[in-house]
Amino acid sequence: MADDLSARLPAPKSAALPLPQPAALPPELAARLLARLAEGLPPEALLSDPQVTASYATDMASFCAAGTPAVVALPRTVEQVQHVMRTATELRIPVVPQGARTGLSGGANAGDGCIVLSLVKMDRILEISAVDRIAVVEPGVVNAVLSRAVAAQGLYYPPDPSSWEQCTIGGNIGTASGGLCCVKYGVTAEYVIGLDVVLADGRLMRTGRRTAKGVAGYDLTRLFVGSEGSLGIVVRAVLALRPAPPRQLALAAEFPSVTAACAAVCAVMEAGLAPSLLELMDRTTVRAVNTLGKMGLPESTEALLLAAFDTPDAAAGLDAVAALCTAAGATAVVPAEDEAESELLLQARRMSLTALEALRPATMIDDVCVPRSRLAEMLDGTAAIARTYDLIIGVCAHAGDGNTHPVVCFDPADEDEVRRARESFDAIMALGLELGGTITGEHGVGMLKKEWLARELGPVGLEMQRAVKHAFDPLGLLNPGKLF
């Protein structure tokens, strides 16, 4: 079945998309730019040494073009961000917003002669309210720092990307990030209820609210979540919080095939259970994790399913999942004995991408989400693509969401292997669309998937997206060359 599906895939296109780059700034304009920026920013907030600015050129994506910025601005205040955008508009200089640059789609890559606007210095937690169940933060706050701060007050901020120890809230908002707990708690968009945004011309706009509900006007807050810095610069966010749940208890289930594991996923969801986590690792990923972390996971398995519950009756939830896994063909179901063992299982899953990256000198990390009912076809089809292109492709997945992360491993020094990696990446995206899915569940479009976004949206959808972009950024200065 998978081989038949692979044969029906459209001819792949190159995944490496060129970024239309402005030429490097003429010396006179570069000097004028620095002088104007220096009028509103302190010396330590401006970096112009080419060797230093080059280090801000890219995020973590492969096959995405990048240039050398003219300057890197590191503002600490809203007023300083406004000054940068007013200067950019005055001089018609493109601006590329950046957070921690942990993104995987080239969305933070610089262009030659641009201003990189790094928001990592705006890293204050301004407020945590247990009564209103909100946090008010600046964009440079690291996800894990916020999570720990609210936990100290008995609250919970659920979005938890795998890079949560490094990634920032601003970056999470820009790409509408997800994480391991999305199956129960949802993604970043569900928790961003208000924003302060500096527009392309330097004006400050407030969207949304800090109340429990509100429907005044268009939902511009949701519009900015996932916009990848192409509509405005988020300088403050109001985030919804939840009461802290009990600590998770987890189990691991071994399966003789990904088809059996995906059948168990469907059974869990159909039964109306609400696990806080439902994650899948294929055989390649399990072995990679063992090699890197010496985790002792069962290498004989073809698929390892991790499930967790964070309710007072977590053990009952795990018992129900265990029965469904056994009925679906699991060869072993091993519940964690305590919270520490549960955390060890979750750490193995968090290690997946890093472990797969260690298999070859380079990787391309895909982010295709399909309906849960098509998850087995997605994984079997990906395995067929790996065989077709003779590549290592490991898959870890937020199985409860149908969100897969096929990781194409290759050697960038081998031209033929690079070609096959590009083509396999495109074939995986084509497969996802054929199965009724989307090209990105949480990583964003950036540069890497521009052509595929156009294919998913269609001409009318693309036209309307561009119209929205033009309304907010008529000069096209914000993160040019990304999305479309």
Q: Which of 318, 347, 351 is nearest to 333 (CA)?
A: 318
Helices (H) then strands (E): counts for the chain = 16, 19
pTM: 0.91
User: Could you give phi then psi for residue 126, rounded to 5 degrees?
Assistant: -85, -30
All domains of the chain in start order, with CATH: 125-243 (3.30.465.10), 245-347 (3.30.70.3450)
Q: Which single residue is written with the structure tokens 């031209």? A: 415
pLDDT averaged per 10 residues in sequence order, the chain, 484 residues: 38 37 78 97 96 93 90 98 98 97 94 97 98 98 98 96 93 94 94 98 97 94 97 98 95 97 98 96 96 89 96 95 98 91 89 93 94 97 98 97 96 96 96 97 93 94 96 97 92
Residue 338 has a pLDDT of 86
What 3-state class would DSSP assign to 299? Answer: coil
Distances 461 to 164, 240, 431, 456, 458 between C-alpha atoms, Å: 32, 30, 21, 9, 5
Look-up of token digits 């200065």: 477
Q: What is the token pair recorded at 67? A: 């240039």
pLDDT of residue 11: 40
State the Cα–Cα distance between residues 315 and 319, nearest whole angstrom. Answer: 6
pLDDT at 402: 96
Question: What is the pLDDT, as a whole number, of residue 296?
Answer: 87
222 contact partners, CB below 8 Å, separation of at least 6: 189, 192
pLDDT at position 23 is: 58
Residue 309 C-alpha from the chain's centroid: 24
pLDDT confidence of residue 179: 86
Give the C-alpha separation, 157 to 167, whole Å. Answer: 14
How many angstroms separate the CA atoms of 118 and 134, rounded? 25
> Using CA atoms, how far apart are residues 346 and 341, in angstroms rounded to an integer?
9
Phi, psi of 219 (to 5 degrees): -85, 80
Burial class (CB in 10 A: 0-12, 13-18, 19+), 298: middle
Taking a C-beta distance cutoff of 8 angstroms, is the pair 106, 149 a contact? Answer: no
What are the phi and psi torsion angles at 333 (to 5°)? -130, 120
DSSP state of 142: B
| 85 alpha-carbon distance from chain centroid | 26
